[in-house]
Every structure is written in structure tokens, then in C-alpha cells.
Amino acid sequence: MADIDTKPRTGTKVQTERPRLHKVILLNDDYTPREFVVLVLKAVFRMNAGQSERVMITAHQKGACVVAVFQRDIAESKATEATDLAKSAGFPLLFTTEPEE
């Protein structure tokens, strides 16, 4: 018993919260060609043919699809990079971000 510390804890424990992760979301539109969406998913999010095709089809059918989850700054820069790539090619394709619950 002698070596059990029974002193009350008086120190302040600093609770560091993990930063919330953010989703990158692909939005459907009526103009961007399917092949171009797949190309952007491969180039910016390093997806393979199967993954990029599935994500594109899900957005096409449901209106939107979560592409990936990152720390906030990475999610935002990837969404911007992907949206800008489409804009440069003359397509209205949009990627947005939102925090995970």
C-alpha cells in the first residue's frame, strides 16, 4: 500500500482536440463529360480506374459523392485544384468541402 499515490490530482490536464477532418464532395452537373470527371479524380485524388469510375457514377446518379477525407487545408486545396482544372478546360464541374460530423 505504501507506494500507492493517494494525493488528489490538482494539475490541469490539457485536452488537445484532434482537428476535425473535412470531406471533399464531388457535385453532379449536366455538362461535364464523364471521362473528364474520371480524369480529374485520377489526377488530383490519385484514384485508380475502378475507384474513379464508381465515384463519378455515384455523383452522376445521386447528385453528389464524397471523394475523400483530409485535414481541412488539404481538403480545401484539393477541391480548389480539381475545380480549377475543370474550369481551365471549360467545364462547370464543382468540388466542395464540409467538416465531418
Candidates 8-16, 41-49, 53-61, 75-83: pick the segment binding ligand TYC (CB under 6 A): 53-61
CA angle 58-63-69, nearest 5°? 65
Examine residue 60 and tell whether it contacts ligand TYC (CB under 6 A): yes
CA 53, 57, 59, 60 torsion-angle sign: positive
Q: Does 32 bind ligand TYC (CB under 6 A)?
A: yes
**In the complex with ligand TYC, which residue's Cβ is closer, 47 or 93?**
93
12 Cβ partners below 8 Å, 6+ apart? none
Which residues, numbered 61-100, are part of the site for ligand TYC (CB under 6 A)? 93
**CA 71 – CA 75 distance, rounded (Å):** 6
**Contact residues for ligand TYC, defined by CB under 6 A:** 26-30, 32-34, 37, 56, 59-60, 93
